[in-house]
Structure 1
Amino acid sequence: MSTSDANPITIRAARWPQDLHAAQLLLRHYADFLIHNPVGPVNICLAGYEEEMASLPLQYAEPDAVLLLAFQEGTAVGCVAVKQRKDRPGSCEMKRLWTEPSTRGTGLGRRLIQEAMTWSRAQGATVLLLDTVAEAMPDAVMLYRRMGFVETERHNTNPLPGLLFMKVDLL
């Protein structure tokens, strides 16, 4: 979907089944981060995670959803998932934003979010939603705020206590 001459990272939709291994590897790194987080295990949001990992091509299949993958020199270095919210017409939900530690500080997280916004707009969404554990992911929350996300009411059934619900208008 995008490339930058200054940063040789390409972002595109996952191609199933050929990208399954790369996607699973990134999402395992994401899960490991949550499980070993310094503020304590944030593994409640990983309930059913193995089932999700096994069914990625079904979970994130266009046109209803997508898993965007970032590649640098052929190696997967980041991802973000986006799903249309059929229960909330005009909205999509962003999930599983992850960048490998080697790419932190390069703007990759911002680029992945921008691509998630672009994909959501192309699906007709006017709002992009997310939830996060602010205490466990303060850097992500700062990035979301810099990109225009604001706090909003609960918009899903994630049972994890202490969740921060956010949205950004895509118009």
Structure 2
Amino acid sequence: MIESVGMITIRHAEAAEDMEIIRRLFREYEAWTKTDLCFQGFEEELATLPGKYARPGGRLLIAEYHGSTAGCVALRPLQDEICEMKRLFVRENFRGSGIGRYLITEIIEEAKKSGYKKIRLDSIASKMQAAIAIYRDFGFYEIPPYYENPLPDVIYMEKSLIVNTITAK
């Protein structure tokens, strides 16, 4: 377990049963977006979990609320010192409880522990307005596309993970 706050628990997905939970959550994510993710090799991703999200450079986290599976988030290496947050998803009946923020907080901490200097993500602007606002709250800012995506309204974001220790005098 990584973090437990009140009745919210965020934990690493590692066991075979956890991969089944992640598969279900990823499928729910795809259905919620109403987007066919085949251009990202989604079926292969599901079949080979943890796949690109495996340690040492990747992570899969599961959120539970009062013991029920509530959501997930993934991290994968992208380039040297750059990782990508993927598949942030909170089930509809758990939204508004802060679970998404806890997942983001934990995946950022995992990225820092892994030595990444930047974390990136992409998001569907027309469908993920609330998530994009939260990303901005966490210090993510828009950047040019870092891969080709056939969807028309995708935005790309990045956050520096380097802590600036220089103080202005």
The TM-score, its normalising length taken from structure 2, stands at 0.88
Cα contact 1:17–1:57 (8 A) shared by 2:
no
For 2:151, the equivalent position in structure 1 comes to: 160
For 2:23, the equivalent position in structure 1 comes to: 24
| 1:120 corresponds to which of 108, 111, 115 | 111
Cα contact 1:65–1:82 (8 A) shared by 2:
yes
Asked if residue 56 in structure 1 is aligned to residue 55 in structure 2, the reply is no
Please give the per-residue CA displacement for 1:95-153, whole angstroms capped at 9, x wherever unaligned: 10000112111111111111110011011111110011111111111111111110012
CA positional deviation for 1:59: 2.9
SS at match of 2:4: coil
The one-letter code matched in structure 1 to 2:58 is A
The one-letter code matched in structure 2 to 1:76 is T
| 1:78 corresponds to which of 64, 71, 84 | 71
Cα contact 1:16–1:57 (8 A) shared by 2:
no
Unaligned runs of 5+ in 1: 36-41
SS at match of 1:3: strand
The total of aligned residue pairs comes to 160
What is the correspondence of 1:1-171 to structure 2 with a 5 Å cutoff?
1-5=2-6, 8-35=7-34, 42-43=35-36, 45-47=37-39, 48-85=41-78, 88-171=79-162
Distance 1:105 1:93 in 2: 24
Moved over 4 A (4+): none
CA positional deviation for 1:17: 1.2
**Greater relative contact order (CA < 8 Å, ≥ 6 in sequence):** 1
Distance 1:155 1:59 in 2: 17
Distance 1:12 1:46 in 2: 28
Share of identical aligned residues, percent? 36
Distance 2:21 2:66 in 1: 13
Unaligned runs of 5+ in 2: 163-169
Distance 1:148 1:84 in 2: 20
Distance 1:154 1:160 in 2: 12
Distance 1:97 1:46, change over 3 A: farther
SS at match of 1:63: coil
Distance 1:31 1:132 in 2: 13
Query: Aligned Cα RMSD in Å?
Result: 1.4
